[in-house]
Chain A
Amino acid sequence: MTEFDCSGTLFKSPPKSLAAFLAAGEERARLWRPEELGAIFRHQMSAPILVDLGGFDPATAARLKMISNAQNLLLKSFLDLLFHPSPPIELLTMAKDFAKGNMEHPDSALPNEVAAALYYASIAAAYVRLDRRITQLGDAELKRGLEWAKGQPWLEPQIARLFEEALQKLAQAGSNP
């Protein structure tokens, strides 16, 4: 473990570094740089569902565990969930709620862009794989959100394709009411 020479380092540091440090120390300061969003999103996709969604109340957490382990579904990560041919709707809804909670919380641990991408990805997966809408967003609003998500440069191609499929389905539904 490397030592940090507090006094020696601080007494050499210019006001600019001190100001940047004090600003970065604020809880609401950005934790991650924009170019890190891709890595963070990939990590979120590969994260065990139970780690993040396990933060719900005990009864929900127990149900979550049961669902994710049921019928030998290998729903270990968010990526597994989004790309399962028939993902449990309850789990997708929980993933969407988890993402929404992070989007709306000022002290959220997840970068807002990553949380928003996960939010729309959960909605897109339910819509594309199960033909279910797990959101109350209207078509126009949903289209705007999916297009925003699809346009994120740091997004994995397979996730971008999921958004594209959802957009196509939404367009078809709009032309065939």
Chain B
Amino acid sequence: MSSDSRASSIFPRTDWAELGPAAVADTARLDRLIRLYWAPLRIFLLASFPSLKDQADVLLQEFAEDKMLKAGWLQRADQQRGHFRDFLKISLRHFVLDRLSRADVKHAPVSLDEMEVEPSGPEETAEAFDLTWVRTVLAETLRRMEADCKDPSAEQPRRGRIWEMFRIRLLEPLFNGAPQVPYEQLIETFGLKSPTDASNMLLSGKRIFKTHLSRVIKEYAGQDAATAEEIRALEEFVARLARKMP
């Protein structure tokens, strides 16, 4: 980790010089993961403990530093690969309850029951977390895919057009409600020689997307099997949620 990134790390109190190389690598990985998944963690915290709204960022910061950075947390999380999301949720919940419990004993201004209000129920809270998680994963995947496709140093200049086709054909209509671009217009825009050319371009886009999706998930899920299982789990979760809230 460079000194710049250390300075902007979410572990500002960490003395990097005291950490061994393995711990530095683990911490850097944690730093990346928490930074990326900050939004779902925050949503889960607020949904579980709405009265802690003003302290959410401080609590998350402390959770990251005092809990996750503790020796063994990442190893325990790694043993739960494929369930990293659940492990994170449970850890955060326990951490906040523990903090509240201590505060309760010290000051007792509000009871624990009052603090941990779940107006929408635990299932909805978990769903809000998982939905934000999916959005974060997909946004990161698409961000990396776009950067990869537009990389000027890449040896395949065609990749820029693949991203454009993917964007016009899939992303804009699905997410921004853009009208479908007629096939004839696609031919003109991309100079397509035949339908197989068009389909291959779109299939290539899907493959590049899949590759990046696997990479993003593998960073927290671990092995290939756990990654594949996590992709399936996210797909099933979103499909179930779509049926429930069309």
> Which A residues fall within an 8 A CB radius of B?
1-2, 4, 6-7, 9-11, 13-27, 31-33, 36, 39-41, 43-44, 47-48, 51-52, 102, 107-111, 114
Contact = CB atoms under 8 A, between A and B. Distances in A.
A2 to B, nearest CB: 7
B167 A4 contact: yes
B171 A4 contact: yes
Contacts of A24: 170, 174
Contacts of A31: 199, 202-203
A49 B171 CA distance: 32
B175 A15 contact: no
Main SS at interface, chain A: helix
A7 B38 CA distance: 13
Contacts, number: 132
B107 interface: no
B116 interface: no
B11 interface: no
Contact of B203 (A18, A22, A107): A107
Given A13-B175, A22-B239, 7 more contacts: A4-B171, A15-B131, A20-B174, A26-B206, A31-B202, A109-B200, A111-B195
Chain B interface residue number, banded: 35 or more
15 contacts: A9-B176, A11-B39, A11-B132, A15-B131, A16-B242, A18-B134, A18-B138, A21-B170, A23-B239, A36-B182, A39-B183, A40-B198, A43-B194, A110-B196, A114-B195
A43 B135 contact: no
B230 interface: no
A137 to B, nearest CB: 24
